[in-house]
Amino acid sequence: MTERLLVCGLGSGMDHSLAELRSPQRELVVVTDTPTDRARAAADVLLVCDPTDSTAVLVELSAAGVDRLDGVFSLGADNPPVISVLAHRFGCPGLPLETALSCTLKDRRLAILREAGLDLPRFGTAESVDEALRVVAEVGLPAVIKPSDQTGSLGVLKVESPETVLETAAESLRLSPVGRIVVEEFLEGTEHTLAAFMLDGELHRFGFADREYGRKEEFAPYFFEGGDTLPSRLTPEQIEEVTDTVRRGARALRLDPAVINTDILRTRDGRVVLLEITCRLTGARIATEVMRLATGVDPLPNLVRLALGLPLELSELRPTRGRAVVQRFLPADGGVVEWVGNPRDVARRAGVHDVFWGIEMEPGTVVPPYRGGADVLAGVIAYADEPAEAEAIAERTLRALPLRFKAPVQ
């Protein structure tokens, strides 16, 4: 019988990986709220709806006559609870809903990790602006305010003075469907992405990258994530220390078996702080292309095996090469587009894997001011023998983008 896979949700740019999932023995059902030409070409059945709404997805599946699924997963989309609901509904392998919620709701996750003894920022929760004022006073300034139930840096704001708490807390609360925010101590250091599979209590790491935050606070109070770099600047011993922290966090949250994405901060005095951990594939093309270009490891076959309840092939997670790879983004920060060309013309340069627009643009498009991690104007994935060389290729490529904004009226 042909296996039927449901890909419910595509993270930014992750439609690039859909073609690799196609097989004569497989039917691919894709759910997305942003259908692209790649998604249309790869999907046997394409359903357009909100992949973070399990009821909407079930309605669309029923309308399309899909009454059987063999596996359910997302490609970098932040919707683990929906994946759990759908897996349970169709009798597919998957994590319990309570587990998915524990690694998705920030306040719930922090409480579990604190109970397990992990090193965390000071934090508290609030459901009103008045409560936020009290929690900020307890946590201290500077602090970070974020919706408990949002992803992709939406509503994540830095607070540096008591005068700004009211405005930032109100904005973050507006963006929280459940009306709850988390206030965390602001810590400084280097940030890193670790991608892994968790199986039988053991963590099998297949990717480790340094996050680029050179322009992190340029758009304060919003944060700008500039991309990722491989290999890491950390020593092997430091990477193992980070890996051990992630392993402890995954065990505490009962993410097993699971694919895991994390955000870790290593402070200047050597603390390893687990900022985010969730049961999904690392998105924004990081796990499937950036890490894969650097190490040769393709996580997709094991992602499919996990969804089908089949044994993982752990040998496929061992690196087969060592190459420097960077992904770099340009922030979208206001203006009116006067002229835009095809970024593929720039992609023909040596060392450029891909260059792409982060938003759809044409002459006359009004680009709003930067308000968070989803506001990316363009990006590039570049590779070389050394990180500095790959970084230089990425910078030259972004400077050469075929894009011109109208001059502001004086």
b/e string for 88-97 if b means 16 or more Cβ within 10 A? Answer: eebebbbbeb
Tell me, what's the pLDDT at 44?
Answer: 97
Q: Which residue has the tokens 């990717």?
A: 207
pTM beyond 0.85: the answer is: yes
Which residues lie below 8 Å from residue 373, measured CB to CB, with a gap of 6+?
152, 153, 154, 156, 223, 224, 225
Which residues lie below 8 Å from residue 24, measured CB to CB, with a gap of 6+?
none
Q: Give Dmax over CA atoms of the chain in angstroms.
A: 67
Per-residue pLDDT band at 345 (split at 50, 70, 90): confident
pLDDT exceeds cutoff 70 at 409 = no
End-to-end CA distance of the chain: 67
Mean predicted confidence (pLDDT) in 125-149: 93
Per-residue pLDDT band at 105 (split at 50, 70, 90): very high
pLDDT exceeds cutoff 90 at 384 = yes
Distance (Å, whole) CA 329 – CA 355: 10
Distance (Å, whole) CA 319 – CA 321: 6
Q: Read off the pLDDT of residues 43-77 as tens digits, 9 standing for 90 and up.
A: 999 999 999 999 999 999 999 999 999 999 999 99
pLDDT exceeds cutoff 80 at 338 = yes
Per-residue pLDDT band at 108 (split at 50, 70, 90): very high
Percent of the chain surpassing pLDDT 70: 99
Tell me, what's the pLDDT at 344?
Answer: 83
Distance (Å, whole) CA 24 – CA 45: 15
The neighbouring-strand residues paired with 89 are none
Q: Read off the pLDDT of residues 371-380 as tens digits, 9 standing for 90 and up.
A: 887 789 999 9
Per-residue pLDDT band at 410 (split at 50, 70, 90): low
Mean predicted confidence (pLDDT) in 235-240: 97
Tell me, what's the pLDDT at 402?
Answer: 94
Q: What is the DSSP letter of 197?
A: E
Tell me, what's the pLDDT at 349?
Answer: 84
Mean predicted confidence (pLDDT) in 374-401: 95
Regarding predicted confidence, which is higher, 374 or 255? 255
Is 277:289 a contact under the CB 8 Å cutoff?
A: no
Tell me, what's the pLDDT at 348?
Answer: 79
Cβ neighbours around 321 below 10 Å, total = 9
CA 130 to chain centroid: 31
Is beta strand 157-159 parallel, antiparallel or unpaired with respect to 123-126? Answer: unpaired
Question: Mean pLDDT score of the chain, rounded to an integer?
Answer: 94
Tell me, what's the pLDDT at 152?
Answer: 64
Percent of the chain surpassing pLDDT 90: 84
pLDDT exceeds cutoff 80 at 354 = yes
Q: Read off the pLDDT of residues 323-332 as tens digits, 9 standing for 90 and up.
A: 999 999 999 9
Mean predicted confidence (pLDDT) in 159-173: 90
Is 287:303 a contact under the CB 8 Å cutoff?
A: no
Distance (Å, whole) CA 203 – CA 260: 9
Distance (Å, whole) CA 332 – CA 308: 39
